[in-house]
């Protein structure tokens, strides 16, 4: 079975990320989170590291945003170990309907979802 890499761009997202522990473990196919952080001065990185487990690995890269999200996302994709990528913002919390849908995906097929 294939897995999903979640890609996240952050800067001082402590408040938003503190809510991620309630749902991130429910996404069974996500085994990697790649974070591109732009010099956070709060506990963003500490909270992200607290989400890491045997199943879920978190890679954090420090890079300035420079108003070019495309370059940052492309950088993150190059470091992903999985073929499937999910982009989220720190303030986005997937609904239970979306979590159930993602968990039911057959990631071994040749179809593209969007």
Over its length of 114 residues, how does the chain's per-residue pLDDT go in tens digits?
679 999 999 999 999 999 998 899 899 999 999 999 999 999 999 999 999 998 999 999 999 888 888 999 999 999 999 989 999 999 999 999 999 988 888 666 666 655
* In-domain check, residue 40: yes
We report the CATH number of the domain holding residue 98 as: 3.90.550.10
Entry pTM:
0.88
Predicted local confidence at residue 96, as pLDDT: 93
* In-domain check, residue 109: no
* In-domain check, residue 113: no
* In-domain check, residue 14: yes
Distance, in Å, from the CA atom of 7 to the CA atom of 95, rounded to the nearest integer, reads 18
* In-domain check, residue 114: no
Identify the domain containing residue 87 by its residue range.
4-104
Predicted local confidence at residue 6, as pLDDT: 97
Looking at the structure of the chain, the number of domains it has is 1
Distance, in Å, from the CA atom of 62 to the CA atom of 73, rounded to the nearest integer, reads 13
* In-domain check, residue 87: yes
In this structure, are residues 30 and 4 in contact, taking their beta carbons and an 8 Å threshold?
yes
Coil, strand, or helix at residue 40? coil
Distance, in Å, from the CA atom of 13 to the CA atom of 25, rounded to the nearest integer, reads 19
* In-domain check, residue 82: yes
Predicted local confidence at residue 2, as pLDDT: 79
Which residues are 34's β-sheet partners? 7, 59
* In-domain check, residue 94: yes
């Amino acid at each position: 079975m294939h897995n999903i890499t979640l890609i996240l761009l952050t800067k001082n997202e402590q408040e938003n990320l503190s809510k991620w522990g309630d749902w991130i473990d429910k996404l069974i196919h996500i085994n990697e989170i790649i974070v591109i952080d732009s010099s956070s001065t709060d506990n963003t990185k500490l909270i992200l590291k607290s989400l890491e487990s045997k199943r879920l690995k978190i890679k954090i890269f420090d890079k300035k945003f420079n108003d070019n999200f495309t370059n940052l996302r492309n950088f993150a994709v190059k470091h992903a170990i999985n073929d499937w990528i999910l982009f989220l913002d720190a303030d986005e919390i997937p609904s239970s309907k979306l979590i159930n849908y993602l968990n039911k995906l057959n990631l071994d097929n040749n179809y593209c979802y969007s």
